[in-house]
Structure 1
């Protein structure tokens, strides 16, 4: 925009800020400024600064050269990634504007030291898209004084003023490896002066001549020098204004959250009951001798009292076995995001409920009626180490596989069958669509769950839309009526429309049933788990899904297999189906690398009949934040797949307890993908086994063990 600010960006920035401000505060590093591409930089050029580990930032920038919305993330200390949605007027002859998705990646080779060495980074910009912003760089940044930072680098592609001509008819979405670090290379530089604690002044030298934007009707920049200012509002928000070439103005707004910094670091849950030391043997000789076991009423009384105390802590005492020296309790955690906290609070209550002769505590975690792991503790260790660091009790604890057999366990009275229900509002958001980048829907969701017996669960939900911009829409330029009347839902290439007609399931003003299933979870051996789910599995498909998972409690490796036979549901009739029917199946391998990082590979047949593999890498932080990236490539050709070439995206999951401070097992989040296409699509089934089991297995338990005494 030339010499004036438009209200659109201010509105967008306000909406973006409001959407995340309720979640808490972030803590960006001192002096970090985000550029118009949403990554550390000045105005258009990058710096070698790495954001703090765990930071997720959203940036909106606007000028006559285009609009950009960027989500950047720092999953590990040196690696920065970004997913961007851009709108550039006039440069795509097939559309009024190019609405482009692009990916960036930057790796910090060296961080800055107190001596002469600067921070050094290498980066790829728009390395997997249509390539309209394609460029690579090597950059170094040095803090000269506490208020002055200088950056210099060498750029290729757009950063060298060498736009790589883009064929917008190309499907894009794949790495342009042959272009990386090719063509002419030219220098760029920037200076940032921290004028006050909140205001910084920016200047940069850039060779980007905005050739594609000028071809679309924008005015050329007046020179190679860009100037800007950046203003920080607290530790969370940044707003900035800048000029490109001295005569084209732009504005930018950013907001950041950090997975490692909670607005409630200590939580708001009430303090746990203190450990009760046992009395001296002389004070309770009967309790120490074990003579109490001869009383047939002792166990029921103890189990009832302990069950009531655990219920007040948000735990369900599923079953219990009790002898003179050993007690095992099997618990379902309904409150705490870290299983270690549920186990620690259970151990405290066991010291208060059990006779003094009981020395061995076995606390078994139960998920969906299935025992997943057992933590074995000595009571004397619990008494002795209560006021020490959690690591000390962790060194004394044993985590072993839970025996699937009931043995002498006695079920608690009145647990099954169990019925629960709830009504709550929902908000659905669709992002990065090439036709409409922001769609939403607001309504109410009623859910119910009927646990018939341990492991056998009938559940479902009903949704009622209230309002929103998500409406029913048919693909291929057809009307809704024409598409619904078709005998087959296929693309021009004969590919079944398994996801690309997803909007046909939207905009229903009458109640809908997204899910209604009967699921059976079991554990036939100490290391094998199974699941069978039958019914309306998701909004678009119904059928049966069967899964088996091999996962020893202390193994980093897990192997799984899943088979689904499904039929496509009618668009608005809850219990009617369309003609498309398919059997899909995958073999999966999972590996926990430690430090909250795990990977997953799925190989098999997808919903559209294509065969291939999905690779995913995930990071979970100590407080439960999860961020992951995935990519799927199948035997479907780029032309058959359509724009994007293959499926890829980012998954984000935030525990509600991080934002509110109150304990909860609920999460918010979702999957962000550049496009929704038919290739590489799987059935969306709730409670896949690895996610269910890993919460209470060794790796995840130890990662959250700091919560044991909370």
Structure 2
């Protein structure tokens, strides 16, 4: 009879935005982002993005950098978050709070006006010995365009000086030094629309790009002999006589002066004098997302010559504790030993396989020639990696044999069940739970920053390898949701703009309670069905079908769901609104800068039809950053902002801790919560569950076989 290993309840902690914020703030596990603080040509401008003060430069941050900054130059306070997803592209968003303007009594009469904007900068040419670095950029291109601008800028370094010269349109060109060079193409280029991006803002302001008069801007940075200090001088292109909301400012000079002082490798203090009459102060914190790592204190790999355990249940237990593999079956067929398992600890499959090979070599009899690792997830068989035993042992003893071992490894997805009696068979039933903090937040609207600090109980009960119940119970410990008042105008069903009612109605709510089941329908076909309380706002049932060829750069998925809106108290009562929603989604690994493109077409929660484009990149550190935009046939009824859009970052938790983990935490930003383009927040998705189908970075990660 096969041995059985029980699966006791094991606590695990929900990994949440709160944990991410605490870890980022501490900086204890974050790389130094190349020591950007106090580095020549690497400072963040007042508006965010690499620049001087009010003006941008052609410089870019190191690839994978995230910069968070805030500053005040009366009457404006600016809060910025910018990313460098690839070497030639910078993007980010900001909030601009205007101290002497209010939203107005119809929205939030006693609160300062808050504007939202997004920027993009593209590097056109790298700097050489004789040529400057050249970039083109778009400021506030996807927001209200109150501060909208376009520019062409060049930067050139000379010893400890970094010079910048540019041409600006819009907010950067209000000084009107020269007429538009595009006027000879069409008369409309001579004038710039006062308001662009649609009647309510939020659309791409293509109707204003490079229109109107231009102004010259530029400046220089000087790296002082004291390394932490950089001095700046700039000439800006704005005359402050066309400020948003008629908020014109007195300008005594186009020259601005400032200094950047590094307080640490990541933290920088900024101060200056602008317009000839106004002080500026700010802080910048840089985070190296691409290089985030922490020295690990994982258990050492097992000894190749360890004494046999003589019990395959104990072997399975050791494989989970040392190799990060939750084993469901161990089976021998002829000269091959098969281990069927789900990864639980290490992001690199070679690391788990290398650790497992040591354990299996010590246990298996001399007749075993190959180790087969059959990787699965939630009962879905995904792929098999095969190692020659003798080659593995030789390489483990001496690096001279690594090449032969590596050349002998092969992977495939022909997952026929081996014959023979299992040496070990795990029970399909298990229970997992965890209790931890979570921070929900909503910001950027007239109500200001809203937060809810919660304790979340998360549990799963697996009925068998392919089916499980999951649930989340959230208790609010601290919040400021009494400030939630503004719901916004919308001609659509309120499928998301009741958010504040859900957040404020009850201190204890069931956020998720569902049963989920998976199945493999063929070599490349996977299916999933689910039903219950699917998320905080919706209950219902649905299913997903995914076609994902092995080691392919593309996959195609289809989900369909019937849902009904839940009551605000988040118990079991339901509201009257129900609908069908679902999408056909193509997933494409573009092969360009490790960018994953997801294109979805279908029906959204408000009954609108449209498409969503999601572009993201995962770095070697495991951090993924991305952006999405949704366009539907309800854009005229959407409310403020003509389409849904946002940015997100997902960070693996082992970047902060000394023990390896597959868990991650994420933060997402969207300008406003609106009803158009709203999607069901499904807890599980087949593309994520079938990650092992992608060989990905297997060969690049091969050196981790010996970690």
Q: Find 2:319's aligned residue among 310, 313, 324.
A: 310
Alpha carbons of 1:463 and 1:215: their partners in 2 closer, same or farther (altered >3 Å)?
closer
Q: Distance in 2 between matches of 1:360 and 1:51?
A: 47
Q: Distance in 1 between matches of 2:406 and 2:585?
A: 31
Q: Distance in 1 between matches of 2:643 and 2:95?
A: 17
Q: How far did residue 533 of structure 1 move?
A: 1.1
Counterpart for residue 209 of structure 1 = 239
Size of the aligned set, in residue pairs, is: 657
Q: Distance in 2 between matches of 1:367 and 1:596?
A: 24
Q: Distance in 1 between matches of 2:600 and 2:413?
A: 25
Aligned: 1:123 with 2:120: no
Counterpart for residue 55 of structure 1 = 65
Alignment of 1:410-421 (within 5 A): 410=422, 412-421=424-433
Alpha carbons of 1:92 and 1:702: their partners in 2 closer, same or farther (altered >3 Å)?
farther
Q: Find 1:159's aligned residue among 172, 185, 196.
A: 172
Q: Distance in 2 between matches of 1:404 and 1:179?
A: 60
Alignment of 1:251-266 (within 5 A): 251-264=281-294, 266=295
Deviations 1:250-276 (A, max 9, x none): 111111111222252x43323222445
Counterpart for residue 699 of structure 1 = 696
Contact kept, 8 Å, 2:332 with 2:422, in 1: the verdict is: no
- SS, match of residue 698 in structure 1: coil
TM-score of the superposition, structure 2-length normalised?
Answer: 0.87
Q: Find 2:546's aligned residue among 544, 549, 573.
A: 549
Contact kept, 8 Å, 2:374 with 2:382, in 1: the verdict is: yes
Q: How far did residue 112 of structure 1 move?
A: 2.1
Q: How far did residue 166 of structure 1 move?
A: 2.9
Deviations 1:389-433 (A, max 9, x none): 988755432221152757557384453311122211222222323
More displaced stretch, 204-213 vs 21-30: 21-30
Q: How far did residue 78 of structure 1 move?
A: 1.0
Alpha carbons of 1:214 and 1:201: their partners in 2 closer, same or farther (altered >3 Å)?
same
Q: Find 1:82's aligned residue among 75, 84, 92.
A: 92
Q: Find 1:193's aligned residue among 201, 213, 222.
A: 222
Counterpart for residue 625 of structure 1 = 623
Q: Find 1:27's aligned residue among 8, 26, 33.
A: 33
Q: How far did residue 361 of structure 1 move?
A: 1.5
Counterpart for residue 150 of structure 2 = 136
Q: Distance in 2 between matches of 1:370 and 1:688?
A: 13
Counterpart for residue 163 of structure 2 = 150
Q: How far did residue 215 of structure 1 move?
A: 5.6
Aligned: 1:227 with 2:237: no
- SS, match of residue 342 in structure 1: helix
Aligned: 1:467 with 2:478: yes
- SS, match of residue 683 in structure 1: coil
Alpha carbons of 1:538 and 1:73: their partners in 2 closer, same or farther (altered >3 Å)?
same
Q: Find 1:608's aligned residue among 602, 606, 626.
A: 606
**Structure 1 vs Structure 2 CA RMSD:** 2.7
Counterpart for residue 281 of structure 1 = none
Contact kept, 8 Å, 2:388 with 2:405, in 1: the verdict is: no
Contact kept, 8 Å, 1:27 with 1:236, in 2: the verdict is: yes
Contact kept, 8 Å, 1:151 with 1:191, in 2: the verdict is: yes
Q: Find 1:184's aligned residue among 203, 213, 223.
A: 213
Alpha carbons of 1:231 and 1:667: their partners in 2 closer, same or farther (altered >3 Å)?
same
Contact kept, 8 Å, 2:451 with 2:481, in 1: the verdict is: yes
Alpha carbons of 1:570 and 1:131: their partners in 2 closer, same or farther (altered >3 Å)?
same
Counterpart for residue 530 of structure 1 = 527
Contact kept, 8 Å, 1:134 with 1:158, in 2: the verdict is: yes
Q: Find 1:591's aligned residue among 588, 592, 615.
A: 588
Q: How far did residue 352 of structure 1 move?
A: 2.1
- SS, match of residue 268 in structure 2: strand
Q: Distance in 1 between matches of 2:249 and 2:222?
A: 29
Alpha carbons of 1:396 and 1:233: their partners in 2 closer, same or farther (altered >3 Å)?
farther
Gaps of 5+ in 1: 1-14, 279-297, 478-490
Deviations 1:55-95 (A, max 9, x none): 11111111213111111001111110011111124567856
Q: How far did residue 333 of structure 1 move?
A: 1.7
Q: Find 1:240's aligned residue among 229, 248, 270.
A: 270
Q: Distance in 2 between matches of 1:391 and 1:602?
A: 42
Counterpart for residue 184 of structure 2 = none
Deviations 1:21-78 (A, max 9, x none): 3552431454211111111111111111111111111111112131111110011111
Q: Find 1:346's aligned residue among 356, 381, 385.
A: 356
More displaced stretch, 387-396 vs 528-537: 387-396
Deviations 1:594-627 (A, max 9, x none): 3532111111111100011111111001121001
Q: Distance in 1 between matches of 2:152 and 2:338?
A: 59
Higher RCO (CA 8 Å, separation ≥ 6 residues): 2
Q: How far did residue 564 of structure 1 move?
A: 0.5
TM-score of the superposition, structure 1-length normalised?
Answer: 0.87
Deviations 1:480-534 (A, max 9, x none): xxxxxxxxxxx652x1111111111103554211001110011121211111111
Deviations 1:120-141 (A, max 9, x none): 1111111111111111111111
Counterpart for residue 183 of structure 2 = none
Q: Find 2:124's aligned residue among 80, 84, 109.
A: 109
More displaced stretch, 503-512 vs 585-594: 503-512
Contact kept, 8 Å, 2:197 with 2:206, in 1: the verdict is: no
Alpha carbons of 1:502 and 1:307: their partners in 2 closer, same or farther (altered >3 Å)?
same
Q: Distance in 2 between matches of 1:428 and 1:101?
A: 20
Aligned: 1:422 with 2:452: no
Q: Distance in 2 between matches of 1:533 and 1:404?
A: 27
- SS, match of residue 100 in structure 1: strand
Gaps of 5+ in 2: 1-20, 177-191
Counterpart for residue 375 of structure 1 = 385
Counterpart for residue 567 of structure 1 = 564
Alignment of 1:84-103 (within 5 A): 84-90=94-100, 94=104, 97-103=112-118
Alignment of 1:294-309 (within 5 A): 301=310, 303-309=312-318
Q: Distance in 1 between matches of 2:555 and 2:206?
A: 33
Alpha carbons of 1:556 and 1:408: their partners in 2 closer, same or farther (altered >3 Å)?
farther
Q: Distance in 2 between matches of 1:679 and 1:446?
A: 31
Aligned: 1:401 with 2:413: yes
Q: Distance in 1 between matches of 2:614 and 2:119?
A: 18
Counterpart for residue 268 of structure 1 = 297
- SS, match of residue 179 in structure 1: coil
Alpha carbons of 1:219 and 1:186: their partners in 2 closer, same or farther (altered >3 Å)?
closer
Deviations 1:417-458 (A, max 9, x none): 11122211222222323431x222212111111111001111
Alpha carbons of 1:156 and 1:359: their partners in 2 closer, same or farther (altered >3 Å)?
same
Alpha carbons of 1:474 and 1:142: their partners in 2 closer, same or farther (altered >3 Å)?
closer
Q: Find 2:634's aligned residue among 613, 633, 636.
A: 636
Q: Distance in 2 between matches of 1:597 and 1:221?
A: 44
Q: Find 2:497's aligned residue among 493, 497, 500.
A: 500
Contact kept, 8 Å, 1:556 with 1:699, in 2: the verdict is: no
Contact kept, 8 Å, 2:490 with 2:639, in 1: the verdict is: no
- SS, match of residue 352 in structure 1: helix
Q: Find 1:676's aligned residue among 673, 678, 691.
A: 673
More displaced stretch, 331-340 vs 668-677: 331-340
Q: Distance in 2 between matches of 1:681 and 1:656?
A: 29
- SS, match of residue 53 in structure 2: coil
Q: Distance in 2 between matches of 1:373 and 1:45?
A: 52
Q: Distance in 1 between matches of 2:293 and 2:388?
A: 35
Q: Distance in 2 between matches of 1:99 and 1:16?
A: 26
Contact kept, 8 Å, 1:241 with 1:250, in 2: the verdict is: yes
Alpha carbons of 1:276 and 1:107: their partners in 2 closer, same or farther (altered >3 Å)?
farther
